[in-house]
Amino acid sequence: MKELSALMGYRESIKVLDATLRDGGLCNDFFFKDEFVKALYRANLRAGVDYMEVGYRADKQMFDVDKFGKWKFSSDEDILDVIGENKDTGLKLSIMADVGRCNYKEDIRPKSESPIDLVRVATYVHTIPECCAMIDDAKKKGYEVSCNIMAISNAGEKDIRCALDMIFKTDVDCIYIVDSYGSLYPEQIQRIAALYTEYAAKYGKAVGMHAHNNQQMAFANTIEAIGDGVDWIDATYLGMGRGAGNCSIENVIGFLRNPKYNLYPVIKFIEEYMEPLKADGVKWGYDIQYLLSGLFNQHPRDAIRFTTEGRTDLTNYYKEITAQDI
């Protein structure tokens, strides 16, 4: 790990993005109540969070609007109706647009017509050309743009280098290290961060970190990334996110010790909204099935199915995902 600031110091270049509505929406099909969203927005404002991701901008021709809440699609109209114009605040709003799962040319309007500030393009290594086209489109429309290259634990270094070179040649503002399967460890993050920051320095861009908690490494990996020069940090309230969840924003804000951030509104929102959400049966967080999917570097879809089906036969699950007859 590169040199960290003194215990009470902080790095002004770091930005914190709250991904609760977007990644957390994968736990409840994006059916958040308007009151929840408004309160989350207010909490982020008071906490000094830099960006709030309000959901996906998914294509309504591809996804059944009756099966998902509004934040699967996060239209400008819904954002304005629930959150408002968000003018003259220190908080910026963002959406995520998946390559192949959005109609970005029509559904992402020019920045002058939208309350959104940042478009986050999500891609895999094999869809980089379309990703670059989406980045160019969003930049021309006036947005900040970041890129999440997903599932890098399944990609070789040569492919990652090629992807970084192609994306950083666009006008993208930041590329994220994404541990999609929660399979990476801090020493691996150190090497990956060195690779990403090498290209970022070459092109004058930033690097971000998006960690999943399958092996309870999300916070440790985020700390490692910060120490290695990564500046954009994704986190969620109480770690809410797909499967095992994400790095928790309460940990991140506590760790950063930057006076611009305020932990109390985060804790208050967790008490008043996140804990009741869990009590109502919305599930996320570390469990053995997610540990196994992380250990074996697998997509958590089978572990999620194991959870939703209420299964407890962990040894059978182990044999299923490893194809071993023990």
Residues 6+ apart with CB under 8 A from 241: 19, 23, 24, 26, 27, 212, 213, 284
> Which class is 15-279 in CATH?
alpha beta
Domain ranges of the chain: 15-279, 288-322
Instruction: Map residue 326 onto helix, strand or coil.
Output: coil
The pLDDT of residue 10 is: 83
> Is residue 20 a contact partner of residue 237, using CB atoms and an 8 Å limit?
yes
pLDDT digits (tens, 9 = 90+) for 98-116: 999 999 999 999 999 999 9
Dist CA 257 CA 303 (whole Å) = 35
pLDDT digits (tens, 9 = 90+) for 52-76: 999 999 999 999 999 999 999 999 9
Dist CA 172 CA 128 (whole Å) = 13
The pLDDT of residue 141 is: 98
pTM of the entire structure?
0.95
Proportion of the chain above pLDDT 70, given as a percent: 96
pLDDT digits (tens, 9 = 90+) for 131-187: 999 999 999 999 999 999 999 999 999 999 999 999 999 999 999 999 999 999 999
Whether 325 has a pLDDT exceeding 70, the answer reads: no
